[in-house]
Structure 1
Amino acid sequence: MHGDLAHRAVELADALLREARAQQTPDEHAQARKLARMMADPHGKELTIALADQAFRSRRPERIADQLAHLLERYGVPQYMDWWERVALLLGGAMAHYLPSLVVPPIVNRLRHETQNVILPGEEEDLRRYLAERRSAGLRLNLNQLGEAILGEGEAARRLDAYLALLARDDVEYISVKVSSVFSQIDLVAFRATVARVAERLRTLYRAAARHRYRHADGRVTPKFINLDMEEYRDLELTMAAFSEVLDEPEFLPLSAGIVLQAYLPDSHRAQRTLTEWARVRRARGGAPIKLRIVKGANLAMERIEAAVHGWPQAPYGTKPEVDANYKRMLEYGCRPEHAEAVHLGVASHNLFDIAYGLVLREARSVEPWV
């Protein structure tokens, strides 16, 4: 980082943090403290994630009761919870088998309350109300379908239908999709055949995005936006190939779409350069800009397991300073005006200093409309 920009980024991060704390409500402060405790409680975090997934997935109290007992036996009662929550969860786990219809609903409701800021309700009326409230507040939302890895083409078809249903809604502008969620038979040995099958699914989604337009609050009407998420390292080249090949087709030249790159992978900066060179050529042909969202990466545990099982080095960098340096390298490359015009940049990080650096860098490079 250039010295002046780094100094300005530190000052801006300090100002943002002070302002955020000044605006924080007592409830938000309590929630932040609880979240910090959860992050320091590995078993509690794993139980909460598993319980949220399984409690929201089933509508049968008996099934949820069975899973609650299993998860409590496996992980124990989370230490990050308040004492009365620990007691209630322990009693609920003991009583759920005997009175599931009485005990389970309060537990599920409490869990929904705890996660309401990050997990949206799937019920039609609640979801529509939430989206309307956020739109009236001037916020734009990116919706992502929760769910485990798919196991077959039937499940992939159902997930694809769920994405298409979201795109058809008049109150949804932007969705995120993983390639592995719409095609189950990924075979990297048969790379070209797999790219062709994935491309078929992407065409279906992109056609729906182009067909179902979104009306913004200011009256503008644009195609829906689809962002391709990245998860496993093995999917990087496949996702890039399917993304660029489909968007290179004449039918999709006018369509703007996005892709995510993870800075904890050493390959990501090379991938960024490749995508940028391709996008600039596509733009010169009259194509729309693409969007690149840069994240740190959230699949480290699985990548380590994958490496340990096969006896090879892990794909991500081994240290946080390396990840942070690569993130800033990608940010600097993406903020060059000749790149940002063709590849709009999304700066996604929990690190306030990264956000601040992105803000001062885009101002210094005069690329605010694209970053």
Structure 2
Amino acid sequence: MSLAEKIIKLRKEQGWSQEELASRLDVTRQSVSKWESMSSVPDLDKIVKMSELFQVSTDYLLKETTPTETEERCTHPDEIRPAVRPVSLKETNLYLDLAPRCHRNIALALSLFILSPICLLLLSGAAEYHILPLGETAAIAIGCSVLFVVVAGGVALLLPSCMRLAPFEYLELEPISTEYSVIGVVQAKKEAFAPRYQQGLVVGVSLCIVSVVPLFLSYLLENEFYSVCAICLMLAILSAGVHILFRVWAAQEVYQKLLEEGEYTRAKKAENRRNASFVIFYWCLATAIYLAVSFYTESWNKTWIVWPVAGVLFAALLALKEMLYKNRNPS
């Protein structure tokens, strides 16, 4: 079977037209037509892109094979290729309409979680340094009550939004086949959103960096209560930065999921499916270690260090796991 025959066969298996394949490869329909008619041969980078799109090895595409040699088609021999899920224009429009509203609520919930300790910090600080005629016990009780109410409000925003988005989780894990009109609609929206995405990243990251400035300035005042106020101001600025970053990041993720780009290519989805059990086990173990150490030592102000260490170790272990997997199953 020649390269041209394989392109035709794989394209039809996905239910794609020449125009749709051309759009995904960022070439013209005429280029795809020439490849399939054996008038020309695709460049190496396009062959690599096709191997990711069709979830086959480059060897399968380039080597002459017989129709029975199907075992080479999978990028990894022991990996079962999931069925490609069709996504209609109606489903796409529903997701494009629902996702921004849910992401707005999730971003607000994250901001509330960051803001939640501010009242506790201010009241306990004011009571400790006699700024307010309030006992420390009463200040802590009121502050904790406000903290739990704010957190509860965040949870009330977060959970329903996540549940409404749950039916679209397949976009993160399964290979999808979209109608040709869908590609054009999503691509146009993504291009129109690009300036706002870049602006949001700049503003969000800048706010996160600037948020530590009040803390440094408070050291010049040599007043403990001002330091408490500086921490509260830092949390307020940080919450605004996180809110903006999540909104633009989530919107960009919507387009990447529908176009199978970035972290949502078929190769990445296959990798995520392989690592799903490991991710759940690892973070459950990290949480158990954090709680055990914190309750045993009663040093909650120090045991938070478990989380950054766990994050760095997680990235290292995941990279090592993928390296070992690829060594066992070379393309």
* TM-score above 0.5, yes or no: no
Give the TM-score of the pair, scaled to structure 2: 0.21
Q: Which structure carries more relative contact order (alpha carbon 8 Å, separation 6+)?
A: 2
Report which of the two has the higher share of strand: 1
Report which of the two has the higher share of helix: 2
Q: Could you say which structure has the larger radius of gyration?
A: 2
Give the TM-score of the pair, scaled to structure 1: 0.20
